[in-house]
Chains A and B, each alone.
Chain A
């Protein structure tokens, strides 16, 4: 498998505090990569550096390269706004736009950037709601507000919204941590399906979840990438003592 993303010598700061130290990591195409590690170790910072959301925080900046299909996301002349359309993101807490209906939420990323006909809107909404495994549950209430849905449904709505922009990569920051077990299972199944079309990087605190859905796992500790390899290897035979301690629940 070709590498979709190659992170090279990535450092990240919040003002004077350094949150990431020299991260090197390659993410293969059409795979799910899980990022694990104790709270505060820099998981969110890491995936937010990939789509250049990190720099939106006041005082936050980064150095190093994030290469997407051979092109440095941080290269001169790269517009962060445009690069984000190729690197979709789903957040920990579902955040549909409160003023928009379900349908409008799905197409929000498109209609905020260009005009779309009525017919196109309906078609696009249907396509991506189906892809996010939400269509059957909401097809009769497309004009209801997005925030009237349950938490799990809202999160799938946000996934549909992210997918509608047609990204190549989906970055998810603990997408199921605010959800009940049934909704979580739905999101996990969905990610496994989406792997065929997208490259997925998912942050999770849930070790079983990482083991269930991911092909590769990266273990972070205090802003450093401690170990990275196939999920099988990390969970059955980690090379680093700290990885083993974390996985077996001895700390974190």
Chain B
């Protein structure tokens, strides 16, 4: 029968498409696993307790670690997050809860443009804004450059999450005689909190591995530094410096730094997912 033939043809075609897309997915995933695996194999031999607890040693002196740059990365990214999160979420609240008209569209447009700006440009802006005025490289200027990168990511993800909060909840709150600002703080923010945390963690993970903007802002440092006004070592910058050095020992450390960096990003991503999963579970009872 004719219809049967068509049915079979559709079936075959469907199966073929499924096979092709599966193949593409497999290629993409295996590439990722290959990168992860390669980093692991190359880096694991240099990852030991010293790597996490000791300062770097001068060239030729074996041992030592990158404790200062691990902590430095946490400081720089942490300060960036403290700047970008409040501003980003407040902007997202404005856009989703108040923003109408030309000004809001402008803000949204600027944020989209900012999202497409190459990381190194964020670095040079921070360089011009902070480094040239302070007359020195500093952890703070590095944080400013990373904050510039985080900001549009946080604005966009948060705005989207605020929009998923149903209007019926805002209406329910208004109808109870709750003012708008209170509704936003107590109902909208709370309902969106799971998504906000996840979006923020992902934004942190996204900028945590940036080296380019830090090269000429936070620079690097072979010693401990906890002063935001001084240059500070970070993992991505050390990774860069060590990998282009001619010394085998340093190249080895660069692989280890890469592995630790990937590990940190992985941990952030997984915790974001776990957080969301737990939150969703609780909400459904």
A-side residues, CB < 8 A to B, are 51, 53, 56, 58, 81-85, 88-89, 91, 93, 95-99, 108-109, 112-113, 144-145, 147-148, 158, 161-162, 165
Nearest residue in B to A165 (C-beta to C-beta)? B176
B116 within 8 A of A: no
B177→A84 contact, CB < 8 A:
yes
A91 CB contacts on chain B under 8 angstroms? 168, 171-172, 175
Interface of B is mostly: helix
B178→A112 contact, CB < 8 A:
yes
Residue from A97, A113, A148, A165 in contact with B182 in the complex, judged by beta carbons closer than 8 Å: A113
Once the chains are docked, how many angstroms separate the CA of A145 from the CA of B285? 6
- 3 tightest CB-CB pairs across the interface, nearest first? A85-B177, A109-B176, A89-B175
Nearest residue in A to B282 (C-beta to C-beta)? A145
B11 CB contacts on chain A under 8 angstroms? none
B176→A108 contact, CB < 8 A:
yes
Once the chains are docked, how many angstroms separate the CA of A153 from the CA of B166? 20
B168→A93 contact, CB < 8 A:
yes
Q: Which residues 175-197 in B have Cβ within 8 Å of A in the complex? A: 175-179, 182-183, 186-187, 190-191, 193
B-side residues, CB < 8 A to A, are 100, 166, 168-169, 171-179, 182-183, 186-187, 190-191, 193, 283-285
Once the chains are docked, how many angstroms separate the CA of A144 from the CA of B176? 22
Closest Cβ of chain A to B171, distance in Å, is 7
Known interface pairs A99-B187, A109-B177, A145-B285; 9 further A-B residue pairs with C-beta atoms within 8 A, sorted by A's residue number = A53-B174, A53-B175, A83-B177, A88-B176, A91-B171, A96-B172, A112-B176, A112-B183, A147-B283
Closest Cβ of chain B to A107, distance in Å, is 10
Once the chains are docked, how many angstroms separate the CA of A113 from the CA of B177? 8
Nearest residue in A to B191 (C-beta to C-beta)? A99
Closest Cβ of chain B to A192, distance in Å, is 23
Once the chains are docked, how many angstroms separate the CA of A148 from the CA of B182? 25
Residue from A53, A97, A113 in contact with B187 in the complex, judged by beta carbons closer than 8 Å: A97
Closest Cβ of chain B to A86, distance in Å, is 8
Residue from B169, B178, B190 in contact with A95 in the complex, judged by beta carbons closer than 8 Å: B169
A161 CB contacts on chain B under 8 angstroms? 172, 176
B171 CB contacts on chain A under 8 angstroms? 53, 56, 91, 95
Nearest residue in A to B179 (C-beta to C-beta)? A81
Closest Cβ of chain A to B172, distance in Å, is 5
Closest Cβ of chain B to A162, distance in Å, is 7
A113→B178 contact, CB < 8 A:
yes
Closest Cβ of chain B to A85, distance in Å, is 3
B283→A58 contact, CB < 8 A:
no
Once the chains are docked, how many angstroms separate the CA of A99 from the CA of B172? 14
Once the chains are docked, how many angstroms separate the CA of A96 from the CA of B175? 12
A148→B285 contact, CB < 8 A:
yes
Closest Cβ of chain A to B161, distance in Å, is 14
Closest Cβ of chain B to A15, distance in Å, is 13
A82 CB contacts on chain B under 8 angstroms? 177
Closest Cβ of chain A to B195, distance in Å, is 12
Once the chains are docked, how many angstroms separate the CA of A22 from the CA of B283? 45
Once the chains are docked, how many angstroms separate the CA of A122 from the CA of B283? 22
Nearest residue in B to A109 (C-beta to C-beta)? B176
Once the chains are docked, how many angstroms separate the CA of A99 from the CA of B188? 10
If A58-B100, A91-B168, A93-B168 touch, whether A98 touches B283 (CB-CB below 8 Å) is yes
A109 CB contacts on chain B under 8 angstroms? 176-178
B284 CB contacts on chain A under 8 angstroms? 145, 148
Once the chains are docked, how many angstroms separate the CA of A95 from the CA of B169? 6
A145→B172 contact, CB < 8 A:
no
A sample of 26 cross-chain residue pairs with beta-carbon separation below 8 angstroms, ordered by A number, consists of: A53-B175, A82-B177, A84-B174, A84-B175, A84-B176, A85-B176, A88-B175, A93-B168, A95-B166, A96-B172, A97-B172, A97-B187, A98-B283, A99-B190, A99-B193, A108-B173, A109-B177, A112-B173, A112-B183, A113-B177, A145-B285, A148-B285, A158-B172, A161-B172, A162-B175, A162-B176
